[in-house]
Amino acid sequence: MGIVCDPYKTMAGPKPKLLFLIVILSLSASVGARPFVLILSQEDYKDDPPADPDSPAEWDEFAHGDAHKSEEDLDPGSWRPIFEPPAGDPQPLPESDAAYYSAVHKLMSGEPALIQDAGEEIAGLAVSGHPAAQSVLGFLWEMGLFRERSKGKAFLYHHFAAEGGNMQSKMALAYSYTRQDMLEKGVKLYGELAEVAVNSFLISKESPVIEAVRLHNGAEENKEALGKSKGEEDEDFQILEYQAQKGNAAAMYKVGLFYYFGLRGLRRDHSKALWWFLKAVEKGEPRSMELLGEIYARGAGVERNYTKALEWLTLASRHHLYSAYNGMGYLYVKGYGVDQKNYTKAKEYFEKAADNDEVGGHYNLGVMYLKGIGVKRDVKLACKFFVLAANHGQPKAFYQLAKIFHTGLGFKKNIPLATALYKLVAERGPWSSLSRWALESYLKGDIGKAFMLYSRMAEMGYEVAQSNAAWILDKYGERSMCMGESGFCTDAERHQRAHSLWWQASEQGNEHAALLIGDAYYYGRVCGLTMRNAVNSIYWPLCSLLPTTPFHFLVFFPPFCQGTARDYERAAEAYMHAKSQSNAQAMFNLGYMHEHGQGLPFDLHLAKRYYDEALDHDPAAKLPVTLALSSLWVRKNYADSFVVQVIDSLPELYPKLEAWVENVLLEEGNATILTLFVCLLTVLYLRERQRRQAAVAAGEVAQPNHPNELGVPAAPI
């Protein structure tokens, strides 16, 4: 998803003095999402911001907060001890926590009996008031895992867990409130979560976005993205590691970076990252110096040491790594590793970073001017710095802008925008590690565990996880290890759950999900075992005669619409939603529905417009659109003719033909006979061809000499 925000739209009269263009990039990498534009006029800007809207602790990012807590503390009840167990001897846990992690371990086992036991154990811990267990129990009620599915009970347990400080339940509640347009409650929770997420970011430079990998590309597995997420088994990483072992400083830095952030499917390992960064520094790699400063400032894999952090950041800045000035300025603002706080020096460092186009410098200056830290408070100037930082994708700037729109400081309140911005930042919190663990499980072939983890994230509002979980259900069926009320999910439970997940993903801008929802309502209970939209059932037989047709509409989607009542109007709504994402297939389907008056008014002109739009957005649609336009021409000029009746009968005829092929020709015995018959014909054809070639060759050898013009046989040469 992307947002483009122009705070001052064109107005009559004098132009405003400031013109900001905010490009807010998606942090969730949703497929098919398009940017939308928000225009804010001069009227939305407040010239008289309040003198002190909030307490310093809330507004000052440099105030004492949670910035130095570990990720385990920031995300209590995290499943990290199970998926990323600490090196060495584990620290003893309180009895209730030990019982909780034992139950979660069983929940991930994939064994129905153990999963059922885990549910009972988690329920017992939840009753005793364990927040993390209450959060998981809410998830189990939402899933309907060995219990009757109940959104009410899921909400109740998530509420208890959130009151106890569980962040994942806060994410689930915030998403639930937002879906129900209860934005005042949703924005409050997302604001709290975004603050925690910001406190987990780096102090000197922007933390790299660890993209949630989409398992599928349309109906097919996303092999390209998955191939880049194999961790240490990835061939490219092995080459990089080999280069690092041979003394390549840049490769050493990259390997350390991959281990520090857990990139490209690698398991995060701060000890290995530290080792590689130190080796790179020995080779003169300056970028490693900055990361070493981060490591010592955070105590990641080492004992926290602000003095060493400042030393490393200072060394990095001498090599013209201007982002290091942000870390140095931060330490001076906080008074860490230095004699005392020095706002003047901090401002100088932030300005050096900003003057060299380092976005963190713009952000940090914005914070200083927003709160008046070492400078005269200037909200307008602070907003300008935040916009500049957000324009380059700085997530902390998104957070500050969200607070500005949330509280109405400088701009008038805009709760929907504040909620969207908070959500973008919150989804980068420590709990996003669930995505990495889910991907690891999928790549190892543990489909059930991957589905469980993606389902947990789906409940928290992650669009990519929603579509991944739905795709696993459709793609793998029983292998998904989907658990229902009394054990493994029935087909109906699995299809209903996939439908729900696709619907949630479509609400968040996933155009493929919107198409599937549209197909479900278009075909209803007659979907059978294959999904076909209009182009599949009408034009596929003709297009399939041309094997080089590149049109991606010609796809058979996995089933999930069994049990869905046919509803053309809701199908049209879903296609409209996908069309708003500039999806060519949705445009084509809308044209077909206008052509036949299904869920939309019968209108051949609108049908032609949608067909033309489909071709404009996807050149691969040329052949199907040409066929559709030919059908329109026939329908317009020969209405109620026999040809029109034939065209209208194709949707009913083709499924019957397909069923006949499947049930008669492809039936095991008939298929065998048919195969033998084809083989016999092939043999006879080849033998006949060989006989003719032999006859021709013999004729050339035995050809008699012809007499010359005098009637005398030609003499041999």
Q: Strand pairing of 216-217 and 220-221?
A: antiparallel
Q: How confident is the model at residue 683 (pLDDT cuts 50, 70, 90)?
A: confident
Residue 669 has pLDDT above 50, yes or no: yes
Residue 402 near residue 416, CB atoms below 8 Å: no
Q: How confident is the model at residue 68 (pLDDT cuts 50, 70, 90)?
A: low
Least confident of 111-125, 183-197, 531-545: 531-545
Neighbours of 616 (CB within 10 A): 13
Does pTM surpass 0.85?
A: no
Q: How confident is the model at residue 536 (pLDDT cuts 50, 70, 90)?
A: very low
Instruction: Give 208-249 pLDDT, tens digit per residue.
Output: 555 678 888 877 788 777 777 766 777 788 888 899 999 999
Instruction: Give 514-525 pLDDT, tens digit per residue.
Output: 888 888 888 874
Please give the helix or strand (H or E) that residue 38 lies within, else none: strand 35-39
Query: What six digits make up the tokens of 477?
Result: 């069926």
Residue 600 near residue 514, CB atoms below 8 Å: no
Q: Strand pairing of 2-6 and 35-39?
A: parallel
Instruction: Give 591-642 pLDDT, tens digit per residue.
Output: 999 988 889 999 989 999 999 999 998 888 888 888 888 888 888 877 777 7
Query: What six digits make up the tokens of 265?
Result: 């499917």
Q: Which residues are CB-contacts of 489 (< 8 A; sequence separation ≥ 6)?
A: 480, 482, 483, 497
Residue 439 near residue 454, CB atoms below 8 Å: no
Query: What six digits make up the tokens of 695?
Result: 């006859």
Residues counted in the chain: 717
Residue 42 CA to residue 17 CA, distance in Å, equals 10
**Which amino acid, residue 37?**
V
| Average pLDDT value over all residues in the chain | 79
What's 394's DSSP letter? -
Residue 166 CA to residue 456 CA, distance in Å, equals 14
Q: Which candidate, 462, 437, 430, places its Cα nearest to that of 195?
A: 430
Torsion sign over Cα 680, 684, 686, 687: positive
Q: What pLDDT is recorded for position 392? A: 81
Class of domain 510-637: mainly alpha
Residue 326 near residue 205, CB atoms below 8 Å: yes
Instruction: Give 70-121 pLDDT, tens digit per residue.
Output: 677 788 999 988 988 876 667 788 999 999 999 999 999 888 899 999 999 9
Q: How confident is the model at residue 491 (pLDDT cuts 50, 70, 90)?
A: confident
Task: Tell me which of 129 and 263 has the higher pLDDT.
Answer: 129
Domain ranges of the chain: 510-637
Gyration radius (Cα) of the chain, Å: 32
Q: What pLDDT is recorded for position 696? A: 72
Neighbours of 84 (CB within 10 A): 18
Q: Which candidate, 59, 60, 25, places its Cα nearest to that of 425?
A: 25
